[in-house]
Each structure stands twice: as C-alpha cells, then as structure tokens.
C-alpha cells in the first residue's frame, strides 16, 4: 500500500483507494440496515460499534460481523499493530459537520478514517500555547473509498474538523488538491465515514453479573 506523494502533516497518511467499489456498497448496505443504531446529534448522525468509550474504560461489545473484514484489512496493512476494537460511523448531510476536536486519550493514538459516498473537506488546526484551536494548518479532501490515518503529531497536537457548510472551498491549504481544483468549490452531498480506533482501557462486558 503506497501513501499519496503530496506534502503531508507529520503522522498523517492518505490512501486514495483503500476500499473497492464493491466493499463500499457492502458497507453502506449493512450500515443502512441498522436504522435503530443511528443516534442523531445536532450536526450529524452516528452509529457506535464496539462499546461506549470512556476515559475510565470501555464496556466492550463485539464488533458486528460486517465490520470484521475492514478490521482485518487495516491490521494486514499495518495501520494497526493489533486488531482495533471500536468503529464510529458518522453520516453528514449537506450543512452538517464536526467541530474542531482532538480524538484524545480514550483511544490509542491511531485513528483510521474510511470515507464513503461523496467527498468532504477535513481541516487541521494548530494548537495554541493554551491548548485551544489555533490557525488552520492544512486541509485534506477525503474522497469516497479513501483511508486517512491520523497518528503521532497530528493525533496528539492538532485539531481536526469538518465545517458545517453546504459547499467546500478548495484553497492552497488543501494538500491533495490538483492544481486545477484550487479556487473551486465542491457542493456537499451525503457522506458517511467509519472512524476505526482502539479503545485504551476495556472492561469485558459483565452485564448481569453482580458488582
């Protein structure tokens, strides 16, 4: 697997074609066949698989079978040293997004983001001396079927976000834009992503056992 050749941020890797068109269809089919799993937030909807992560530990539940080939693929590609145990699925309609954040210490510091359906722009920001969101450092156009890996510096010390907008503006800070894309716009369409991670501390599921 060869990462893209553009300039990148330390700890960030981008692979344009990580899943096949058939895999994308298969994943979307299974995601859409779990309507009850969607949790609606103000700015996106999400499905949480593997357990609810918490800084004190995650009550681990097994991942559903439809996600296991992806977990194996990521482990075989050495994105993860051991199979990840948690998958967050985010769905964004035009106008939706995710505020600047760091994924934080509830997970081991490797996040693998698989994008499906339509492209979306992800922004990366420096951290100020006081730990707040600083200047935008770069952006990445996340194409359908791509994989973005965030680790090391970009995981620990940079914020990432998706703007709540109906149109993404491609500018000079978009690291993987082609020259003819600069100064153009991309209208948003529904986009689904899978964020695959390893929860740091897991508590085996002992529901039903007296404590």
Ligand X SMILES: O=C(O)CCC(=O)C(=O)O
Binding of residue 103 to Fe ion (CB under 5 A): yes
Q: What track of x and - describes contact with ligand X for positions 134 through 173 (by CB under 6 A)?
A: --------------------------x-------------
Q: Please tell me the count of residues contacting ligand X according to CB under 6 A.
A: 9
In the three-class reduction of DSSP (H, G, I as helix; E, B as strand; rest coil), residue 167 is classed as strand
Phi, psi (rounded to 5 degrees) for 193: -130, 155
Q: From CA 80, how far away is CA 75, in angstroms rounded? A: 5
13 binds, among Fe ion, ligand X, none (CB under 5 to 8 A by kind): none
CB–CB of 145/115 below 8 Å?
Answer: yes
Binding of residue 113 to ligand X (CB under 6 A): yes
Minimum distance of Fe ion from residue 208's CB (angstroms): 33
Which is nearer to Fe ion, 26 or 156 (by Cβ)?
Answer: 156
Name the residue among 47, 181, 197 with its Cα closest to residue 121: 181
Minimum distance of ligand X from residue 118's CB (angstroms): 12
Binding of residue 13 to ligand X (CB under 6 A): no
b (16+ CB within 10 A) / e for 178-207: eeeeeeeeeebeebbbbbbbbbbebeeeee
Can you name the residues that pair with 113 across neighbouring β-strands?
148, 195
Which is nearer to Fe ion, 101 or 169 (by Cβ)?
Answer: 101
Q: Which residues contact 153 (CB under 8 A, 6 or more apart)?
A: 9, 10, 11
Binding of residue 110 to Fe ion (CB under 5 A): no
Q: Which residues contact 16 (CB under 8 A, 6 or more apart)?
A: 4, 143, 145, 146
Minimum distance of ligand X from residue 21's CB (angstroms): 19
Which is nearer to Fe ion, 71 or 148 (by Cβ)?
Answer: 148
Binding positions for Fe ion, rule: CB under 5 A: 103
Binding positions for ligand X, rule: CB under 6 A: 88, 90, 98, 103, 113, 122, 160, 193, 195
């Amino acid at each position: 697997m060869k990462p893209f050749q553009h300039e990148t941020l330390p700890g960030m890797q981008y692979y344009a074609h990580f899943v096949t068109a058939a895999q994308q269809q298969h994943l979307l089919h299974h995601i859409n066949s779990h309507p009850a799993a969607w949790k609606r937030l103000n700015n996106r909807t999400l499905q949480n698989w593997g357990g609810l992560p918490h800084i004190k530990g995650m009550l681990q539940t097994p991942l559903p079978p439809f996600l296991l080939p992806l977990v194996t693929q990521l482990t075989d590609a050495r994105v993860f040293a051991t199979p990840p145990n948690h998958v967050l699925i985010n769905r964004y309609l035009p106008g939706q997004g995710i505020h600047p954040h760091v994924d934080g210490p509830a997970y081991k510091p490797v996040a693998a983001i698989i994008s499906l359906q339509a492209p979306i722009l992800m922004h990366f920001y420096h951290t100020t001396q006081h730990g707040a969101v600083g200047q935008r450092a770069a952006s990445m156009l996340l194409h359908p079927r791509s994989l973005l890996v965030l680790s090391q510096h970009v995981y620990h010390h940079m914020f990432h976000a998706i703007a709540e907008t109906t149109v993404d503006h491609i500018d000079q800070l978009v690291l993987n834009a082609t020259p003819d894309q600069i100064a153009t716009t991309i209208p948003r369409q529904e986009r689904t992503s899978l964020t695959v991670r390893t929860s740091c501390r897991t508590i085996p599921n002992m529901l039903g056992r007296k404590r």
